[in-house]
Amino acid sequence: MSPNRILCQTEVRPVGLGCMNLSHAYGTPPDEAAALAFLQRAVDLGYNHFDTATLYGFGANETLVGKALKPYRSQILLASKCGMGGVNGKRVIDGRPETIQRQAEESLRRLQTDVIDLYYLHRWDKNIPIEESMGALSRLVEQGKIRTIGLSEVSAATLEKAHAVHPVAAVQTEYSLWTRNPEIAVLQKTRELGAAFVAFSPVARGFLGGILRDPATLADNDIRRPMPRFSAENYPANLRLLDKLQDLAQQAGCTTAQLGIAWLLAQSEHILPIPGTTNPAHLADNFAAADLNISADILQQAGQIIHQGNTVGARYPAATQAEIDTEEFEA
C-alpha cells in the first residue's frame, strides 16, 4: 500500500473516485442498481474520497452518492460542488451568494449528510467578483454546512484573491499527460498556499484507456464529441502517441491508464487524481495505480511521449473555454 495523501487535513488514499460518469456526460449511464453496486465495490476496494457535484445529472448524482455512501459517511471524504447547475434542463454558471447557499442546502439533502467535507465553486462566475462567491462559501463554513472550500478551473491569480478571503483547501482542475495547463502557474500556487491539487480527467477523458479508437462511435450526448482533441481530424494523430505509450506501459507491466495515473502521482505529493469510470475492472486498476512500483525513468519517458506540445487539438471547444479561468499555453 502506498502512503496516504492529505486532503482537507484528512488522510485519504492517493486515488479518489470522480462520480460524474455514473449519471452524466459520457453517454447512457448505468441504471441505479448497477450504479449503487459500483459505488459499493469502490468502498470495498478501499476508495475513501468521492467527488460529485450539483451539476452531475442535475442533482441525480448527488442523490445516488448519498444513497450509496450514507452507511460509510464517517469513513469517507465527501466532496461536491456548487455554482454550476441545471436550470430548465440547461447548464448555468451562477456564483451569486444566494445561489451558492441554496445549492449547498439542496446538496446536503440529496447527499443525506449534515456536512460536506469539501465544497468547491465549480466554476468562477465571471459576472460575480470571486470575493463575493468566497464570502458565501465562508458563511457555509461558519454555519457548519461545509468543512472546507475548494475552487475548480481557476487561475493562480483568482486562487490568490479567493484565498485572501478564506483559506482554499483544494483546487480541482484537469491534469493529465495531455493536459499540462496546471504546470503554468496554479500547481505551484497551490503548493505555496498549502492547498491540495485534485486532478480530474487524469486518464484524459478515457483516451489513455486505449479502448476508444474511433470517436464517431461515441453517443450523441457524450461531452467528448465537440472536444477538438476527439475530432475526426485530430484524433488519429493523438492515437499514434497513445500507441507509443502502450509499448512503454507493457515494459512497466501496467496499463496505459495506470501509467498516466502513476505519472501524475509522481509530479507532486499534493496531487490527488480522481479518475471516473463505470467499468468495474477499470475501477480496480485505477485504484491500484498508486501501489505500482514504476521507475522514474519510465515515468519520465511517459511524460515525453504525450504532452501539451504534441497533443493535437484544444481541450475544450471555444464556448466552453471562455467559461473557465485557467491559464492557457500560447498557441
Residue 205 φ/ψ region, left for φ over 0, alpha for ψ in the -120 to 50 degree band, beta for the rest: left
- The two most distant CA atoms of the chain are separated, in Å, by 53
* CA geometry: angle 215, 220, 222, nearest 5 deg: 70
Contacts by 165-169, CB closer than 8 A, 24 or more apart: 165/130, 165/131, 165/134, 165/135, 165/138, 166/134, 166/135, 166/137, 166/138, 166/141, 167/193, 167/194, 167/195, 168/193, 168/195, 169/7, 169/8, 169/9, 169/118, 169/195, 169/196
Residues designated as active site: 56
Strand pairing report for 10-12 and 5-7: antiparallel
Q: 57 CB contacts (<8 Å, ≥6 apart)? A: 23, 24, 29, 64
Angle between helices 296-305 and 235-252 (to 10 degrees): 170
- HSE-up of 56 (CA within 13 Å, CB side)? 25
Contacts by 84-90, CB closer than 8 A, 24 or more apart: 84/53, 84/54, 84/55, 84/122, 84/123, 85/54, 85/55, 85/58, 85/59, 86/55, 86/58, 86/59, 89/58
Quote the CA–CA distance of 42 and 60 in Å, as a whole number. 19
